[in-house]
Amino acid sequence: MPIIKTYRVKATKSASIPFVRAWHLDQPRNNQRSEVIKEVSGWVFTEGQPGPLLVELHVDGERVQSCPPNIPVPKARRAVLGSDDPSPNDITARFSIGVPLSATSIRLVFVYEDQSVTAAKITASNTFKVQEGLGGYLFLDNDTNKSVDQFTGRITLGTQAREGWEKFFEGLRHLEADGAIAKLMICPAKEEVFSDLYPHKRGVSTPVDNVVDLAGPGQLVDHFGALSAKREAAFSKIDTHWSDYGARIGAAVYLQSVGLASFASHLPTSFKDHRRFGDLGGKMTPQQSGTFLVLDPAEHVRQYVLCQTNQRFVTGAPLVNEDLEAKLSRKLQTVGAIDQPTAAGKNAFYAELMQHLARNATA
């Protein structure tokens, strides 16, 4: 399956070249977004009389082509030479050189008599961290949370991370011992739900698998099947996150798992398509928009009041909100999302939070 990435091109021109009167780089443009660098083109005029100038292209450290600037460029010629312009057909100054598709590091070199000077350095970096799977579905390309490495099993939980998750689940057991309902629901990554469209093969063991293995009986809520059955509505082609509709599916499964299935009927039922670029589509060239199922704001306006916050926890401080239209008189403590299951520091924080809640929780 081909992987399509969007690159940011950076072209750095040399400040001055002794034997060059003027020159310009037309393609690629600095800071442009492109899937590939197809060509290096521009024009160059030497000082004094035209000489045996050669334009060389070096790709990833090797010279791949050398040719004279042999294409007429009348507008640039008139602008540069002015009254010194000889016969219109005497000077050809434009060059256009094709670039191998795999090129990510390019040097443009001007060679004149016994002098050789690098005119520009061109690099293409996969800044936007986006890849395209089958059916036009976009996925994160590793990035800071190492999504590809996690999915393929190239990284798994280390000793410190495992200890952090063990403390986390121990905290859940403390809550349950005090009469509270404490369960963890992991929203599947988009590549898990669309693994048949993803450009990479799933590993035998992943960090999420490691977390599942560490959980005790009944501590995890599995909603993968329900989410997969409605995956086109639960996710968007152009975003990494689940939609509002996908969140509703997760909420319904969670309510059922804690014995509150009857309250699922109070969850929102009205959604509408919202067209946007998303956190992936906006990084493509050209930008790709798509639909995202969101709550219909005209029908779902809820009033929430911030009651308290425990400032003891600076990072990810838990917030307690009161829903003035709640259908159930219970307290629900939400801890938040953990997007990097290998981050032991985060696990230690949430383990400490679980211990704190176990001492102060009200079911």
- Mean predicted confidence (pLDDT) in 157-171: 92
Residue 264 sits at φ, ψ, to 5 deg, of -65, -25
pLDDT value at 28 more than 90: no
The structural domains of the chain, ordered by start, are 7-125 (2.60.40), 137-231+243-265+297-360 (no CATH)
* Helix count and strand count (H, E) for the chain: 10, 17
> Among 102-111, 118-127, 213-222, which stretch is predicted with the lowest mean pLDDT?
118-127
CB 220 within 8 A of CB 184: yes
SS3 211: helix
Burial of 196 (0-12, 13-18, 19+ CB in 10 A): exposed
Residue of 175 and 355 predicted with greater confidence: 175
d(CA 14, CA 255): 64
Q: CB within 8 A of 36, min separation 6: which ones?
A: 7, 99, 101
Contacts 24+ apart (CB under 8 A), 65-74: 65/97, 65/98, 66/111, 67/95, 67/97, 68/92, 68/95, 69/43, 69/44, 69/93, 69/94, 69/95, 70/94, 70/95, 71/95, 71/96, 73/43
DSSP single-letter state for residue 240 = S
CB 130 within 8 A of CB 141: yes
pLDDT value at 207 more than 80: yes
Q: How confident is the model at residue 210 (pLDDT cuts 50, 70, 90)?
A: very high
Q: What is the mean pLDDT of the chain?
A: 78
Residue of 224 and 324 predicted with greater confidence: 224
Give me the pLDDT at residue 363, please. 37
What does pTM read for this prediction?
0.59
pLDDT value at 361 more than 50: no
pLDDT value at 352 more than 60: no
pLDDT value at 315 more than 50: no
pLDDT value at 6 more than 70: no
CB 343 within 8 A of CB 315: no
Residue 176's nearest CA partner among 217, 137, 230, 223 is: 217
Q: How does pLDDT run across 317-346, given as a tens digit for each residue? A: 555 666 677 777 766 655 554 444 444 444
Give me the pLDDT at residue 82, please. 73
* Length of the chain (residues): 363
Give me the pLDDT at residue 320, please. 60
d(CA 70, CA 93): 6
Share of the chain above pLDDT 70, in %: 72
Q: CB within 8 A of 214, min separation 6: which ones?
A: 162, 165, 166, 169
Q: How does pLDDT run across 266-314, given as a tens digit for each residue? A: 888 889 998 888 888 887 767 888 888 888 877 665 555 555 554 444 4
pLDDT value at 233 more than 90: yes
- Mean predicted confidence (pLDDT) in 80-93: 64
Residue 358's nearest CA partner among 94, 229, 182 is: 182
Q: Let me know the angle formed at the C-alpha of 295 by 294 and 301, rounded to the nearest 5 degrees.
A: 150
* Cα Rg of the chain, angstroms: 29
Residue of 32 and 75 predicted with greater confidence: 75
Measuring CA to CA, how many Å separate 109 from each of 17, 34, 53, 59, 121?
A: 11, 23, 10, 11, 9
Single-letter amino acid, residue 203: G
Residue 247's nearest CA partner among 295, 205, 303, 192 is: 295
Residue of 35 and 181 predicted with greater confidence: 181
Cα 112 from chain centre: 44
CB 57 within 8 A of CB 65: yes
Give me the pLDDT at residue 20, please. 86
pLDDT value at 1 more than 50: no
Q: CB within 8 A of 298, min separation 6: which ones?
A: none
d(CA 324, CA 75): 70
- Mean predicted confidence (pLDDT) in 74-85: 73
